Amino acid sequence: MSNTLPDLPYAYDALEPFISRQIMELHHKKHHQTYVNALNAAEAAYAKASTPKERIALQAALKFNGGHINHSLFWKNLAPASSEGKGNGGTLKDGPLKDAIVSAFGSLENLKKEFNTTTAGIQGSGWGWLGLNPSTKRLEVTTTANQDPLLTHVPIIGVDIWEHAFYLQYLNVKVDYLNAIWSVINFEEAEKRLVEGGGAAKL
């Protein structure tokens, strides 16, 4: 079945002033659509490949265009900011996710610091993740390079650190973008992923 570009669950300008309409339109309509198109092409080529060598040669394209998976998660990961009176973005309520964050990091502020420091340290392009370790059932901060999907953990929160996600607004200052994005993180969606991933069981 062909992959398609998902609709955003909010308007392109809904995340302002933290992420501009211009960035959201370009990021969604152009960049994500490109990953969708390329993934479909790679999957079609893989289906037609007649030798193991041909299939192996297509692995990199399939992996890179896992950007479709990452971006589909990323859009749901965001919500209009509660600080702007627009939605629930940036608000962490009492519940399993808050308990898990406090257990693993001591506080939300500590998580933000560790996440931002780790993610800002990515050389080149990649993604910063808050993931659930399936073995320990604890939250951990980790990163993936390029458009590699997170396979070692259950993804709870993912942040795109490719320049197309922030350059038009924050130029090359990744730290400003990372500080701002917490105002539009959809913690309700993150909590849902945590519970579905079994991370609430041991809390």
Task: Point out the annotated binding site for Mn(2+).
Answer: 27, 71, 160, 164
Task: Point out the annotated binding site.
Answer: 27, 71, 160, 164
Task: Give the helix ranges, DSSP H, for 26-107.
Answer: 33-48, 52-57, 59-64, 67-76, 96-105
Contact status, residue 18 vs residue 183, Cβ threshold 8 Å? yes
CA 194 – CA 93 distance, rounded (Å): 14
Q: Which helix (H) or strand (E) holds 156?
A: strand 154-160
CA 138 – CA 70 distance, rounded (Å): 21
**DSSP structure class, residue 5:** P
Grouping H, G, I as helix, E, B as strand and the rest as coil, residue 94 is coil
